[in-house]
Amino acid sequence: MHALARNADGDTLIFVHNGAGALFCDYGHLPYCDGDYILLPRGTAWRIEPSELSEFMMIEATASAFKLPDASQGGPSAINPMLFTLPRIDDAFIAQQDDAFWEIHIKRRGQVSTLTYPFNPLDAVGWEGDLCVVKLNWRDLAKHRSDGQRTPPAASCTFVTETFSISTFIPKVGEGESGIMRVPFYHSNEDADEFIFYHRGEFFSRGEIKAGMATFHPSGFPHGPHPSAYQKKMVKAPVETEEVAIMIDSRAFLTVDESIPDGAEWKAYVKTWEKAQETL
């Protein structure tokens, strides 16, 4: 039995942390690789066919939709929709169609129902309109921004919904040439919970954080650079950074799922602050 997924509760955004392969959906065939965002509109039937081990971060816009941020806030760094890659009804899409039994697992109001078909329902021959699956890689954003370009924080915003925003922190070149202190300063978000997923590179503001980890900063709790960051030229910003991270700012309260066996928290992380403080 083959299976597809469909989210009827809202749009789904997939970020590819590692791996490569293909996504098949109502709109056709779309290859993916690490660093890709794949935006699936509500109600899209889809499946993943990896060509190598793949790891994803999935973000759901429940009862909402993903949109592009206000272009006036990003200036020349605003996202150009022409950067999007669309699925294609190509030979690979036609080849995956068959008369086997397929299931579509539909999520609605947090519950999953299953429909069964005696054929592959991903059998479109074409589609019309401007609502479809799209793909965007952070490397395309990096190419879009010029070296040395000073960018406001809002320029990192990639997608927005009614209740939260997603920002992409990409490598910067030339921003540290002035020698001034680089954000983030110590601060407290009073209007939003903050979640940051670390994808690639060395994270200048965090000590002992590796790719694949995440940090959670609830509203009202002060946070900022790890003390060890000052030993990594934090005061005078490096000319080039290598980090790639995804940040979610949510006006709705975020909670940690405690049902995960042994938990997801690295409980020794607090000790890294104590150790770093001793070396200053």
pLDDT recorded at residue 78:
65
Distant-in-sequence, close-in-space partners of 134: CB < 8 Å, separation ≥ 6: 38, 39, 84, 85, 86
Rounded average pLDDT over 208-212: 83
Whether residue 103 sits in one domain with residue 54: yes
Strand partners, 18: 55
Whether residue 129 sits in one domain with residue 183: no
Whether residue 177 sits in one domain with residue 95: no
Spell out the alpha helix ranges (H) of the chain. Answer: 71-74, 91-95, 138-144, 269-279
Whether residue 116 sits in one domain with residue 203: no
Q: Is the dihedral of CA 182, 185, 191, 194 positive or negative?
A: positive
Do 133 and 38 form a contact (C-beta atoms < 8 A)?
Answer: yes
Whether residue 110 sits in one domain with residue 10: yes
Residue 257 has pLDDT above 50, yes or no: yes
Q: Tell me how many domains the chain contains.
A: 2
Residue 156 falls within a domain, yes or no?
Answer: no
Q: Which of 137, 161, 188 is the last residue of a domain?
A: 137
Its domain, for residue 215, covers: 171-279
User: Can you list the pairs that 29-33 forms with residues at least 24 positions away whose Cβ atoms lie under 8 Å?
Assistant: 29/87, 29/88, 29/89, 29/90, 29/92, 29/93, 29/96, 30/85, 30/86, 30/87, 30/88, 30/133, 30/135, 32/135, 33/137
Residue 165 falls within a domain, yes or no?
Answer: no
Residue 245 falls within a domain, yes or no?
Answer: yes
Q: How much is the mean pLDDT over the chain?
A: 84
Whether residue 268 sits in one domain with residue 179: yes
Whether residue 201 sits in one domain with residue 130: no
Residue 146 has pLDDT above 60, yes or no: no
pLDDT recorded at residue 138:
93
The pLDDT tens digits of the residues spanning 54-80 come to 999 999 999 999 999 987 665 555 688
CA 171 to chain centre: 15
Whether residue 99 sits in one domain with residue 54: yes
Rounded average pLDDT over 83-100: 96
pLDDT recorded at residue 77:
54
Burial 225-239 (b: 16+ CB within 10 A, else e): bbbbbeebebeebbe
* CATH code for the domain of 258: 2.60.120
pLDDT recorded at residue 52:
96
Residue 214 falls within a domain, yes or no?
Answer: yes
Do 59 and 12 form a contact (C-beta atoms < 8 A)?
Answer: yes
Rounded average pLDDT over 223-245: 65
Residue 197's CB is within 10 A of a number of other CB atoms, namely 18
Distant-in-sequence, close-in-space partners of 203: CB < 8 Å, separation ≥ 6: 209, 243, 245
pLDDT recorded at residue 246:
95
Residue 149 falls within a domain, yes or no?
Answer: no
Residue 159 falls within a domain, yes or no?
Answer: no
Whether residue 87 sits in one domain with residue 193: no
The pLDDT tens digits of the residues spanning 115-128 come to 999 999 999 999 98
Whether residue 65 sits in one domain with residue 129: yes
Report the number of secondary-structure helices (H) and strands (E) in the chain. Answer: 4, 15
Residue 117 falls within a domain, yes or no?
Answer: yes
pLDDT recorded at residue 143:
65
pLDDT recorded at residue 230:
64
Whether residue 133 sits in one domain with residue 7: yes
Percent of the chain with pLDDT over 70: 79
Residue 164 falls within a domain, yes or no?
Answer: no
Residue 13 has pLDDT above 60, yes or no: yes
Lowest mean pLDDT among 7-16, 24-33, 40-49, 135-144: 135-144
pLDDT recorded at residue 177:
52
pLDDT recorded at residue 258:
77
Whether residue 194 sits in one domain with residue 71: no
The pLDDT tens digits of the residues spanning 191-200 come to 999 999 999 9
Residue 184 has pLDDT above 70, yes or no: no
